[in-house]
Amino acid sequence: MRTTRPPRRPAKRHAERRARHPELSLAKARGRRTRRKGRRDDGTRLAPCAAMRCSIGFVTAVALIAACSGQAASTLPSSAPSIDVVSPPPGVPDRGDDPAVVAIHAVGAPLCGGALVAPDVVLTARHCVSLPAGPFACPSDNARAAPPLRAPGSLHILVGEDVSTAAVRARGRAIRAPASASMCGADIALVLLDVSIDDVQPFTVRSTGAAQGDHLRTVGWRLLGRAGEGVRILRDHLLVAGASPTELELDEVVLGAGGPAIDETTAEVLGVFSRSSADRLRAVYTRADAFVTLIEDALAESESAPPSPRGLRKAKKGPADLGANCAAGGDCAAGVCVATSGGLEQYCSRSCAAYDRCPTRFRCQRSRSDAQVCTKT
């Protein structure tokens, strides 16, 4: 049996409502036109944020306003620390952290640094053990040949924290250097000693190099204004700004040549200081891993027995002075001094990031100047 559908009744209540409030119908029509055309009543175009008609909560509204204005919606917490930064860091006196960093002195030559890698073997820069021939620049199409090496016996090895109190502990008996005709990319050498320095734990040379973006510690000698005086300087958490197969570029102010670049965590040697970069804004280090065979051959010539680890002075592993008291960034090895609790506590720190984590008992926190630094937990 076929049924017939009753006729639709007009929406009486809606009709009565529109009759009583005609402005509602007008608003709806205008809203449809606005959504369809994205324009105001006067025909002008709406901004993208104004054209979107959606129901949003308070949090979403705040985010939308921030997106339209281009400003961050969040603010730093009141507990954010303030910092004083010196970049690149000038360095601090190395008071016993790296006893295996020695000084190399030759008559008529600037003081150089070196790293003890065996009781009777020192790793240094080649130009530190060569006859004077003036400064050299790299790269260069006409890079001059490496100058001849000095007589090994003319090299004096000093052990100590400053030149005035350091003691001459040994002299050179042989020098081993690359066969390269130029020092560009090959400014490295090893000095075999006539006497073993057996009260210091030698460094280990890492067979794999650092990469761009890593952070290293450097130790070198800073000469003072008075002749014959100098102090061993330590810098921490220096950025490796560039790397090539034979060299590393670090963001640091240049110190005396020959000093080592060291892994902060393991205290292994990764290179020796060679020269300033072409723009003089960075320090160039010759990579140790590029000359592993040369280093292994020199160590094979060592005449000393492996030292007993008991009673030896050893290099410090980990951050040099993180958490130590400071008044300014220049007081810290990494050039960062943090002030928390309204300045009631100030201590040395360093930069950090997602890929550059803070050590144990420290966390990465954004400072009032928007830089990320390690703060105490």
Q: What is the pTM (predicted TM-score) of this model? A: 0.77
At 68 the pLDDT is 38
Q: Which domains are seen in the chain, by residue range?
A: 82-89+320-376 (no CATH), 98-130+149-300 (2.40.10.10)
Q: Quick check: 99 and 167 in contact, CB under 8 A?
A: no
**Spatial distance between the Cα atoms of 133 and 338, rounded to a whole number of angstroms:** 45
At 299 the pLDDT is 96
At 134 the pLDDT is 61
At 67 the pLDDT is 39
φ, ψ for residue 338, nearest 5 deg:
-105, 140
Question: Which residues in the chain come in under a pLDDT of 70?
Answer: 1-77, 133-136, 139-144, 225-228, 307-311
Task: Write the pLDDT tens digit of every residue in 13-60.
Answer: 555 555 555 554 544 444 444 444 445 555 555 554 444 443 434 334
At 306 the pLDDT is 73
Task: Write the pLDDT tens digit of every residue in 134-182.
Answer: 666 786 655 567 889 999 999 999 999 888 889 999 999 999 999 887 8
Residue 304: count of CB within 10 angstroms of its CB? 15
Query: Quick check: helix, strand or coil at residue 305?
Result: coil
| Cis amide prior to 139 (ω within 30 degrees) | yes
At 18 the pLDDT is 58
Residue 126: count of CB within 10 angstroms of its CB? 24
Residue at 293: amino acid letter: T
Q: How far is residue 336 from each of residues 237, 264, 270, 365, measured CA to CA in Å?
A: 10, 16, 24, 13
At 321 the pLDDT is 94
**Spatial distance between the Cα atoms of 371 and 351, rounded to a whole number of angstroms:** 8
At 350 the pLDDT is 97
Nearest to 152 by CA among 195, 115, 187, 110: 195
At 33 the pLDDT is 44
Task: Write the pLDDT tens digit of every residue in 40-49.
Answer: 555 555 554 4
